[in-house]
Structure 1
């Protein structure tokens, strides 16, 4: 049984197999849209509880 996933860009159902060369995207267009979003910094990964910078002596959370 093939795994079916949703395209992260448009939500179209995509079969996860070698027959789908752009997986998890449904097309090269959706893949490029996602790449453009990363390049424009539309996606972020939040930093939580950063460790203290040992060289500065200042806790990053206090900044």
Structure 2
């Protein structure tokens, strides 16, 4: 097996990566949105989806 980031042989300590650096590069790609999991497109006119995205607690009053 080769590292999915740099294609070097993997290290059992960091599998499936070859090093901590490559593992961190991969994590960074997930966190910045470079990778994504495909799904259905959201319908902006669907009120049920808007409710799912609403905060679970009421906003604070100052």
TM-score bracket for the superposition, by shorter chain length: 0.5 to 0.7
Q: Give 4+ residue runs of structure 1 displaced > 2 Å after superposition.
A: none
SS in 2 for 1:12: coil
Q: From the two aligned structures, give the one with the greater helix fraction.
A: 2
Q: From the two aligned structures, give the one with the greater strand fraction.
A: 1
Q: Which runs of 5+ in 2 are unaligned?
A: 50-62
Task: Kindly indicate whether structure 1 or structure 2 has the higher relative contact order, using CA contacts under 8 Å at least 6 residues apart.
Answer: 1
TM value normalised by structure 2 = 0.59
> Over the residues paired in the alignment, what is the CA RMSD in angstroms?
2.4
Count residues in correspondence: 46
